[in-house]
Chain A
Amino acid sequence: KAGVTQTPRYLIKTRGQQVTLSCSPISGHRSVSWYQQTPGQGLQFLFEYFSETQRNKGNFPGRFSGRQFSNSRSEMNVSTLELGDSALYLCASSLGWGADTEAFFGQGTRLTVV
């Protein structure tokens, strides 16, 4: 069964631009979470979607947004990019949204802002 697919794998953008990242969860999984990984901060929770509804949001500015479609695919958008947004963005999918449901991660999208 296919794993979590994130596209694109690598992206270079300039400051001020906006970017959209895509995540296709494992078939049958309805929960998608997004995380930002940077060397200084580790893995930080961005937001979680379940059945097209945002269930939780981390401590990130409003420039970071997301959505989930009826087929559970999710996109996250970052507007007005800043240099500090350079990071690995990871998406994780799980069957449900309880704490004990295992999350499976994609390989991530490496975003570089120049």
Chain B
Amino acid sequence: DQQVKQNSPSLSVQEGRISILNCDYTNSMFDYFLWYKKYPAEGPTFLISISSIKDKNEDGRFTVFLNKSAKHLSLHIVPSQPGDSAVYFCAASPSGGSNYKLTFGKGTLLTVNP
């Protein structure tokens, strides 16, 4: 049972345009959501996060939107750059230390074409 789903295994966009990566979750206990970027042969690196008390969080070119009622979040990258080409993982966690663990989606491979 996949609790965090990234339904698009890959996405290709042109440099300068917007990249939108989507993520859906099923567990109502999830309260904290993160996006990680992963280059080949490297571990995932943290990109941006959002807690359930917010519906938007922005950091430079990266914005994460959360729709709790739809159990959906998305990552917007504007403008997209070739260096953004990587696998993007959506992750979710319930709040509270005793249940801390990250549940990851299977990832979306983003390719930004020059």
Contact = CB atoms under 8 A, between A and B. Distances in A.
A91 to B, nearest CB: 8
B43 A33 contact: no
Interface in B49-98: 49, 51, 89, 91, 93-98
Contacts, number: 72
A78 interface: no
Contacts of B106: 41-42
B17 interface: no
Given A99-B31, A107-B41, A43 B89 contact: yes
Interface residues of A, number: 28
B32 A104 contact: no
A64 interface: no
Interface of A: 4, 31, 33, 35, 41-45, 48, 55-56, 58, 90, 92, 96-108
